[in-house]
A = this chain, B = another copy of it.
Amino acid sequence: MSAIPVLRPVSLDRLRTACSNCGLKELCLPVGLTPDEMARIDSLIGTRRTLKKGAHLYRSGEPFEALHAIRTGFFKTTVLLEDGRDQVTGFQMSGELLGLDGIGSEKHTCDAMALEDSEVCVIPYASLETLSREVHTLQHHFHKVLSREIVRDHGVMMLLGSMRAEERLAAFLVNLSQRFTSRGYSPSEFYLRMTREEIGSYLGLKLETVSRVFSRFQDEGTIAVQQKHIRIIDIPRLKQLIGQRPC
């Protein structure tokens, strides 16, 4: 890396929003970039946006212009049918990208709502395409992010199409646990940011069923639930439930 650094005036705001200073860079879009490449992608982030709990980041039908990387907070995305029925398609946490669904039609195709006070980085999509033509690593990683979203969706399809209620909830908890772990939080103890109804919508179950299965898990000593506070006591048991050998 023998590039000669070019000194340019840098605003404080630019520094504040820079990917190179971000604690999530190993989780987010800049994964695997050299310091040199990192400097170039710093220019990607236009602005930051903060959202109060319950606020929409975007809604279905709005023009798509930018992706959003979650810096802090927690989101849900939902699609809806004309008759009012809706379905949660995912829960997103820090370091994850929102808005990939909008690229295809240049319009958002789902709603994204903050489930707690949150902050996101705005990544203008046109800039991302331009920069990813120049920085191969970025291009490659962006494709991977898109592809992994497809694989994740296949997992949800599997879950919705061929698992029973207990298995779905077990898979859901194990998934949350793993994602919290990779963010440095406890694998076994966390607060759910979403309601039973939202969990049910995501898993194709009614809220009563979610509640009942949680209670059953608790009776069996697999987890301890108190409202939104979850403590997983027996992770291997949960993994075993979803047909995975407990590692």
Chain A interfacial positions (CB closer than 8 Å to B): 79, 81-83, 85-87, 89, 100-105, 109-110, 129, 132-134, 136, 139-140, 143-151, 153-158, 160-162, 201-204, 243-245
Name the one of B103, B129, B151 contacting A105, with C-beta atoms under 8 angstroms: B151
Which of these, B79, B100, B110, B144, contacts A104 with CB under 8 Å? Answer: B144
Q: Which residues of B contact A203 (CB under 8 A)?
A: 161
14 contacts between A and B (CB under 8 A): A82-B243, A87-B161, A100-B146, A103-B147, A104-B148, A105-B148, A129-B136, A132-B139, A133-B134, A146-B147, A153-B156, A157-B160, A160-B204, A161-B202
B157 contacts A87, C-beta separation under 8 Å: yes
Instruction: Assess A100 versus B150: contact at CB under 8 Å? Given A83-B245, A133-B139, A136-B133.
Output: yes
- What residues on B are CB-neighbors of A83 within 8 Å? 243-245
In contact, B147 and A100 (Cβ under 8 angstroms)? yes
Interfacial chain B residues near A101, Cβ < 8 Å: 147, 150-151, 154
Which A-B residue pairs are the 9 nearest by beta carbons? A103-B147, A153-B153, A104-B147, A160-B160, A161-B204, A104-B148, A83-B243, A146-B146, A81-B243
CA distance A162 to B204 in the complex (A): 6
A124 to chain B, nearest CB (A): 14
| In contact, B162 and A85 (Cβ under 8 angstroms) | yes
Contact residues in B for A81 (Cβ distance below 8 Å): 158, 162, 243
On chain B, the residues within 8 Å of A147 by CB distance are 100-105, 146
Question: Complex: how many Å from CA A160 to CA B168?
Answer: 13
Cα A243 to Cα B86 with chains together (Å): 10
- For A143, what are the chain B residues with a Cβ–Cβ distance below 8 Å? 103, 129, 146
Quick check: B85 and A243 within 8 Å, CB to CB? yes
- Chain B proximity of A102: nearest CB distance (Å): 7
> Could you tell me the distance in whole angstroms from the C-beta of A186 to the nearest C-beta in chain B?
27
Across-interface contacts of A86 in B (CB, < 8 A):
162
